[in-house]
Amino acid sequence: MTMNARDILAWPHGDNDTDTVLSGLHFNITTLENWNYTLFSNGTLSNGTKCYLTFEPWAPALIFPNGTFINATKCWHPVYPIGPRAATGLGFAVAFGLCLVLTLVALNKHGRLYLPAQKRFHPIGRRWQWYWAIFTCATALISLFTNIDVDRYYLPEIPIVLTSFFWYLMQIGAIACSWEAVRHWGSWMERQFIDPDPFRLREEGRRYWIEFFLPLVAYLFMWLNFFIVVPRSWSKIEHQRYPEQVITDAEPTATDNRFKTAPFFLFATWLLTVFSLWHSIRHYCPRNRGIINRAIGLFKFTPTRFMLIVPLAFIVALFQAMVAWNFTWSPLNVRGKPEAIYPGGYAPALLIVLIQGIHGLTTPNEDRELMRQRRERGQTLDAELGIQRKPAWWSRVHGGAAGNETMRDRIMRNVCEIGGGGPTARNVKEAIHTRAAESSPNGPQDDMEMVSIPSPQHVVGVTGPIAPGDFASARHTATRYVGMTPSAASRQAELMMDGPPTTTRSGMEPPPPPYTDRPTDRPPMGSNHSAASSMSPSINSSPVQVRSMLDV
């Protein structure tokens, strides 16, 4: 701690030449001077490294020969009550807290996905404006809460640095929130523009490359503002302990060339925000002819919230430039005017976040809005084609699937309708009774060539009991459905009937020649056997026993 020589006071006289009295307490002057302590006019006792208050009720009670004080209070201690700057900051902190809640609700609402994510429109693109709003609220709250101790500290120290540091971060967040709101609105307009026709706007050309590089340039300017302001020594901002120190250290630091250059980068970002708004209106809104009509269309198609937040973003950059030239209005000034700091430094950022939060609560989710637009387009096309679609409740009322029916339930319902388990057994029983009813009651039963119908427990797909009468009646129809013949003569006649006879001019053509059940060896060349004798069927031979699919 350094002060002017005229601020240094002589030791008050005590009981003797080595005794001094501070706030009614006696101290040894030899010990104080041995540790280089000096008494200043602001009521502090300091040796350049340590500083203590010397007035009641924070005056030290005793000093030891080693220079240690008992019950001493350091100079950087909140001894004053809350002043106008801290009280106003508390009110703004409450407002920013409410905006933070609104922003979180809006992020939860608009950040959800109801449609598959597309490569052209990333889900994080719609969330960036809410992320920056959260960042703005968080930095503003830190700046405002640390601002309380700016009024309460006896000598300025770390609170003035923290409140100024996070105030500059809040300014960057407010500009970034405005930029992302405008940029994403253009992306949302493009998404609605190409949703009916995905190939209407290709990812190439001047429009595409402008939208590709514009965010990179905007964030470049914002990061330049950050790197010029933040990474620096902030210790001289604390040197506001007496008027001469403010003039020599604090004010020149707060108004140096770096602080004067930083606002121009925010202003460049603001210009890019306005250009992005104009670019989106030009490509995704109806076009007007003529300079006057274009100017009118620019204001006509600009959303209401952009009519508010874009000028507010300009005020953010403007006020940062003003405090770089006028230290009296600067938040870096411990004795700065609250009537200038809060309306110009905090109110624009608060209004930007508040407008964004209200917009998030009053507008629907973009995926849901896109689904609604698709339904409207489908209804319009159905009306043009004369198609009248049933409402959603129609299938449920007329025996359709229930609204809460899962895909597994639908598959099980279809399987039960087609067959399987109990329904399959019932179908087998019905088929047996039907065949028995169609068969002749006096049909042949004893000269069947193949095995008889198996017992009920061997019927595939039958899970329930089958009455013995079902199989007794089914024996009459075995010759028709199993492929068995009652006799060799009838079997030969059936094999000879390959199709209906063909009528020609000479009359009825004979049926095709008969064929045998088992192929015979071809007679050798020159044999007396004719082809007819070699191809004669073997009626009395046993039927072919198929043992596997390879024998077919």
Extents of the domains making up the chain? 5-70, 84-377
331-361 residue pLDDT tens: 999 988 999 999 999 999 999 999 999 999 9
- Report pLDDT for 223: 95
Provide mean pLDDT across the span 367-386: 88
pLDDT at 289: 73
Distance CA 303, CA 301 (A): 6
Return the bridge partners of 19, or none: 28
pLDDT tens digit string along 220-246? 999 999 999 999 889 899 888 888 888
Model confidence over 469-517: pLDDT tens digits?
444 444 444 444 444 444 566 655 655 555 554 444 445 555 555 545 4
Predicted pLDDT at 33: 81
Helix (H) or strand (E) segment spanning residue 46: strand 44-46
3-state helix, strand, coil in the chain (%, to 5): 60, 5, 35
Q: How many other CB atoms sit within 10 Å of the CB of residue 316?
A: 25
pLDDT at 453 over 50: no
Say which range, 279-293, 369-383, 429-443, has the weakest mean pLDDT. 429-443
Q: Measured at the alpha carbon of residue 250, what is the angle toward residues 244 and 252, in degrees to the nearest 5?
A: 100
389-414 pLDDT tens trace: 777 777 766 655 555 667 787 788 77
pLDDT at 127: 93
Confidence band of 53 (pLDDT split at 50, 70, 90): confident
Label residue 276 by pLDDT band (50, 70, 90): very high
State how beta strands 62-63 and 69-70 pair: antiparallel
Using alpha carbons, select from 184, 197, 148, 325 the residue that is nearest to residue 252.
325
pLDDT at 365 (0 to 100): 92
User: Residues 426-445: pLDDT tens digits?
Assistant: 666 666 677 666 654 554 44
pLDDT on residue 494? 58
Pair of tokens at residue 415 = 């399987």
CA-to-CA separations, 427 to 377, 423, 478, 549, in angstroms, rounded: 47, 6, 18, 28
| C-alpha pair distances (Å), 349 with each of 183, 211, 413, 519 | 18, 26, 60, 99
84/533 Cα distance (integer angstroms): 128
- What fold characterizes domain 84-377? Rhopdopsin 7-helix transmembrane proteins (1.20.1070)
pTM for the model: 0.68
Q: What pLDDT score was predicted for residue 495? A: 55
User: What is the mean pLDDT of the segment spanning 109-113?
Assistant: 92
All residues at 6 or more sequence positions from 551 whose CB lies less than 8 Å from its CB, including other chains: none
Tell me the pLDDT tens digit for each residue of 119-153. Answer: 888 888 899 999 999 999 999 999 999 999 998 98
pLDDT of 451 over the 50 cut: no
